[in-house]
Chain A
Amino acid sequence: MKKLMNTIKDFFSFIHQKLTQNKVLFIDGNSVKVLNRNVNPRLFKIVSILLIVIIVYLFLYIFGSASLFFVLRRSIYVIVPLILVAFGGLYSERSGIVNIALEGMMVFGAFIGIMFIVKFEDSSINSQVVYLLGILVAGIAGMLFSLIHAFASINMKANQIISGTALNLLAPAFALFVIKLIYGGENILFRDNYFVREMGFLTKIPVLGPIFFEKGYYSTFYTIIIILIAGIFLYKTRIGLRLRACGEHPHAADAAGINVAKMRYFGVMISGLLAGIGGLLLVVPLDVAFRATASGYGFLALAVLISGQWKPFRIIVVAVFFGFMLNLSGAYQSINFLRDAGLPDKVYSMLPFVLTLFVLAFTSKTSQAPRASGEPYDPGKR
């Protein structure tokens, strides 16, 4: 009996230990003294996220209507590329290279990707395979394009804002020039063969089905995987840590034996890869033709990156909020109290930007960019 009591006691002390900050002192065998009663922040985070997810799920289950699911579905078209591109910016800026060329990289990636998928549009190859390959091609194109920025800002120690601006100007001009040359017009028309109406039994799941597994793209799922990998890689692996070190204090990183130039090349190239993919994923659902523009989403991603304070989780939260708000304007008429307000529809288009400014005003007080971003690394300095 006493043994059983002891096991139970041990079990509870184990739980308690896990929940507290692990700052536990063991004095003579089994008496436990807790120094700090704060809850483990990581556990707290996970539990609270789970709670929020459950509450949102229940809310949608009870109040969800077709129109709300429609808005959420449309939002995903924007949220996914936005997170992807913002993560691209994250890799670059965390490695110490300011990247305002996200827009240009998106345009270039989308341009090459669209050329690719248009080429195979009528062939007998499965359209989903074509799209997957197109995404790969777009990513590689963005990566190669980003090398221009990397070369200028790492090897040539150029001003990174100037070089980024050059890329932003170059991508649309070059794309338009080539489009005129090859297709004769101002844009490339494409057919959206990649849209999927239903995804088997998954569509039948309440709430999740109509949001994720209906009238969407399979690309959403691989992108979510890419996003997860990218986020974990930057924070949980040795290379990720080294990359961030190069953005905070390159001299210290160099002294620790890290090749700063290599790390920064890596960061910028990943940035180009993700932005290129994001460009394609944005253009395909939203338009019927590629018009050599990313409609300013590259700059929005930059804004998301900065509002997310260069932290992956916050970036995701900001992007989700933003993507949802952006689509509200397209669907406000199906939401009763918004329709009755009788405001012009462009007011709803303005709303996400105004709200972001408000949110930023309250959350930016301690915001800090990676310390060395924007500064060319000069080993001789200091």
Chain B
Amino acid sequence: MMNKFKDIIKKFMISISNILFKPFRNIGFLASVLAILSGILVGFFIMLIVNPPYAGGGLATILFGGFSKGLTGIGDVLIYAAPLLLAGLSVGFAFKTGLFNIGVSGQMAFGAFLAIFVGVKWTFLGDFQWAVAVLAAILGGALWGLVPGLLKALFNVHEVVSTIMMNWIAVYGAFVAYAAANLIGSTTQNAQKVIRTGALPTWGLDSLFNSNTIDIGIILAVIAAIIIHIVLNKTTFGFELKAVGLNKDSAKYAGINSKRSIILSMVIAGALSGLAAATLYLNVTGATYKIETYPISQGFEGIAVALLAYSGPLPIIASSIFFAWLKVGGDQLSGWGYDPNIIGVIISAIVYFSALGFVFRKVIKKIFKKQFGGEIL
């Protein structure tokens, strides 16, 4: 009787640990962790070279800077993370379907324009104004993604070129569009801020994180990530998209309409970018859309976010929060006399090391065989 009970307990514990630690035994996860550690080590070495006495303090600030302001700091991390998550999701989704979407910036820019237009002008919508603005952002991004999709599917135009071109069209188009729609803000380089009802609501997050800039952007982003995860991994539609990405010709042979899949992939990627723009600009106190001759930088940071997560929708949640965490920590680095640009160096080192994932995976496999004599997932 006692033995049987012990057995049950043991089995229960094993299954619990399997569930809890399964992600930690995942080789991709471990490779990413190794890449992160190596990248931070590079940053630490640079700080050691530049100014040895403060290197330890600097490292601590990078790692734990997010905590220093309590919940407000964590709120800041989530504010940074939301657009990064969605931009990364856009890139990652396109990667999964065999496309390289460098055009997140342009898709964000057009989404931002429509969203700001609705958020400023369509006051008659009342409490629904923000929701319509979000939909407008999604629509704008999707339209901007549709063009490269059509060009790729119908005319075999390489999506890298067409998305780069679309970025620049959006950059210069913004000058014309904001002037024509009368949306230029306090200075000629800023777009107008949306009005209160056009901004994303807070749903109590502001009092939770004791911050007046946080909104539901992060919630929207996480929901989007979960939906994309389900679409890609649990539906026929997602399977078709991935199949076309792996091999267009064999997918065609299997009866999949590859042209339709390519177009839809780009449209969805664009829609995600548009949503990213909504989380970035639909607020009263946060970031402002800048009308300048350079594409939105979050679009390119999204590439790094997606790559660190090997394009998986759920890992992208973690990697975007991690990057935002580094950013918040890095902003406090000047207190130790270091330039915050070191965060850029660290992030690029992390991305570089995650490119070496192949080698890391080999190392991890070896260690696991030696230490535990077992295989790894």
Contacts and interface: CB of A to CB of B under 8 A. Distances in A.
A169 B355 contact: no
B236 interface: no
- Name the interface size band of chain B: 35 or more
B355 A158 contact: yes
Nearest to B46: A177
A300 B165 CA distance: 8
Contact of B155 (A161, A296, A360): A360
Contact of B172 (A161, A295, A349): A349
A306 B151 CA distance: 14
Contacts of A172: 344
B219 interface: no
A95 interface: no
A169 B354 CA distance: 14
Contacts of A159: 307, 355, 357
A350 B358 contact: no
A302 B341 CA distance: 26
B110 to A, nearest CB: 13
A357 B151 contact: yes
A158 B156 contact: no
Contact of A169 (B157, B161, B175, B348): B348
B155 A361 contact: yes
Contacts of A169: 300, 304, 344, 347-348, 351
In terms of DSSP, what is the predominant structure of the interface of chain B?
helix
Nearest to B106: A353
Contacts of B352: 148, 152, 162-163, 166-167, 170
A203 B119 CA distance: 57
Contacts of B63: none
A152 B355 CA distance: 7
5 contacts: A162-B352, A163-B355, A169-B344, A170-B348, A367-B157
Interface residues of A, number: 50
In terms of DSSP, what is the predominant structure of the interface of chain A?
helix
B325 interface: no
A291 to B, nearest CB: 10
B176 interface: yes
Contacts of B165: 303, 353-354, 356-357
Interface in B12-66: 46, 50
B200 interface: no
Interface in B340-360: 341-345, 347-349, 351-352, 354-359
A357 B339 contact: no
The 10 A-B residue pairs whose C-beta atoms are closest, nearest first, are A173-B344, A166-B352, A170-B348, A169-B348, A162-B355, A346-B175, A158-B355, A166-B351, A163-B355, A349-B172
Contacts of B347: 169, 173
A356 B151 CA distance: 12
A64 to B, nearest CB: 28
A166 B294 contact: no
Interface string A283-300: 000000000010110011
Contacts of A167: 348, 352
B173 interface: yes
A169 to B, nearest CB: 4
B356 A152 contact: yes
Contacts of B357: 158-159
B162 A360 contact: yes
Given A170-B348, A362-B155, A365-B155, 15 more contacts: A100-B160, A148-B352, A161-B307, A170-B352, A176-B341, A177-B341, A302-B161, A350-B168, A350-B176, A356-B161, A356-B165, A357-B151, A361-B155, A361-B157, A364-B157
Given A306-B160, A350-B172, A357-B151, A296 B294 contact: yes
Contacts of A177: 46, 339, 341-342, 344-345
Contacts of B164: 299-300, 302-303
Nearest to A159: B355
A181 B304 contact: no
B102 interface: yes
Interface string A141-159: 0000000100010001111
B295 interface: yes
Contacts of A157: 358
B113 interface: no
Nearest to B159: A306
A158 B352 CA distance: 9
B349 A166 contact: yes
A187 to B, nearest CB: 13
Contact of B176 (A296, A300, A347): A347
B100 interface: yes
Contact of A357 (B46, B162, B341, B351): B162
B291 to A, nearest CB: 10
Contacts of A356: 161, 165
Interface in A80-122: 100
A181 B155 contact: no
Given A173-B341, A173-B345, A346-B172, A162 B354 contact: yes
B186 to A, nearest CB: 20
A307 B100 CA distance: 16
Contacts of A327: none
A303 B100 CA distance: 13
A180 interface: yes
A344 interface: yes
Interface in A314-369: 344, 346-347, 349-350, 353-354, 356-357, 360-362, 364-367, 369
Contacts of A17: none
Contacts of A296: 167-168, 294-295
Given A170-B349, A307-B161, A364 B355 contact: no
